[in-house]
Homo-oligomer: A and B are copies of this chain.
Amino acid sequence: MNTLRSANMPNSLLPIRISDLGLIKGDRAVLGGVNLIIDEPGITVIMGPNGAGKSLLLRSLHGLITPDQGFITLGSLTVADSRNEQAMVFQQPVLLRRTVLQNLAFAAPKIAKTNPQRLIQALESVNLADRAAQPARMLSGGEQQRLSLARALLDEPALLLLDEATASLDPASVLMIESLVKAQSAQGTKVILVSHDQGQARRLADEVVFISAGQVTEQSPADRFFTAPQTPTAKAYLAGEILL
């Protein structure tokens, strides 16, 4: 998977089938039988109120959560088998207690050996090159998010999961990351991205999936979602009205 993939090369992890995915925490059904099929390449943006279940859905796709019911297949693979093809950026980045550069090197030991130059480039791409030797945990919030993104992009994954990866970035960094993500998707990587930033969603989304209270309530092409959301909840969400 270190070979650059290209858009015309079909993505081995598509279509992504999520059937009747259910997850109970305590006495709440935090995911209540989610059914979702993602077969188009490009960028899918997941939106929905806090606590809707977006992160849990992403984590299930990544195999971090074993659901209480239902199952997921990616192309012909199970979640487990597709693990090495996936990369994920978490809502709260976790960096090792090492320098910025070592954090990258650790994530991709092969690259670190074969051509360390790639690592420097990766740092430049999120302009952290001048921080290479600094302890990663001393980075600012935004810098940490950028670093964990660079880490995720290192060995072009077939599926890239981003959980509010630009939440605390400055406008410039946001655009920078977005262009990186676009480029990656142009190379055939399927991107699923959780965001509350409607501007960002408009800029990136090919397709929008709306989740509320552990249910997928809408899956539409981006333009349609923003012009004519199908459900009142989605409408209210976009309008910024309180959802209970």
B residues in contact with A68, CB < 8 Å: none
**A87 → B minimal CB distance (Å):** 19
Q: Do A240 and B175 touch (CB < 8 A)? A: yes
Q: Does A202 count as interface, using CB distance less than 8 angstroms?
A: no
Q: Does A174 count as interface, using CB distance less than 8 angstroms?
A: yes
B residues in contact with A164, CB < 8 Å: 141, 168
B residues in contact with A168, CB < 8 Å: 50, 91, 164, 167-168, 196
Given known pairs A127-B244, A175-B240, the reply for A170 and B50 (CB within 8 Å) is: yes
Q: Do B237 and A171 touch (CB < 8 A)? A: yes
Complex Cα spacing A240 to B26, Å: 43
Please give me the residue from chain B that is nearest to A236 by CB atom: B172
Q: Does A22 count as interface, using CB distance less than 8 angstroms?
A: no
Stoichiometry, as copies per complex, reads: 2
Q: Does A169 count as interface, using CB distance less than 8 angstroms?
A: yes
Q: Do A51 and B140 touch (CB < 8 A)? A: yes
Please give me the residue from chain B that is nearest to A92 by CB atom: B92
Q: Do B172 and A240 touch (CB < 8 A)? A: yes
Given known pairs A146-B50, A242-B127, A244-B127, the reply for A169 and B196 (CB within 8 Å) is: yes
Q: Which of B26, B50, B138, B171 contacts A142 (CB 8 A)?
A: B50
Contact with B along A43-73 (1 / 0, CB 8 A): 0000011110001000000000000000000
Q: Which of B91, B140, B169, B237 contacts A55 (CB 8 A)?
A: B140
B residues in contact with A35, CB < 8 Å: none
Please give me the residue from chain B that is nearest to A199 by CB atom: B199
Q: Do A51 and B134 touch (CB < 8 A)? A: no
Closest 5 CB pairs of A and B: A50-B142, A171-B240, A167-B167, A167-B168, A91-B141
Beyond known contacts A50-B173, A91-B141: 11 more, CB 8 A cutoff: A50-B169, A50-B170, A55-B141, A91-B168, A164-B168, A168-B196, A169-B196, A170-B243, A171-B237, A171-B240, A172-B237
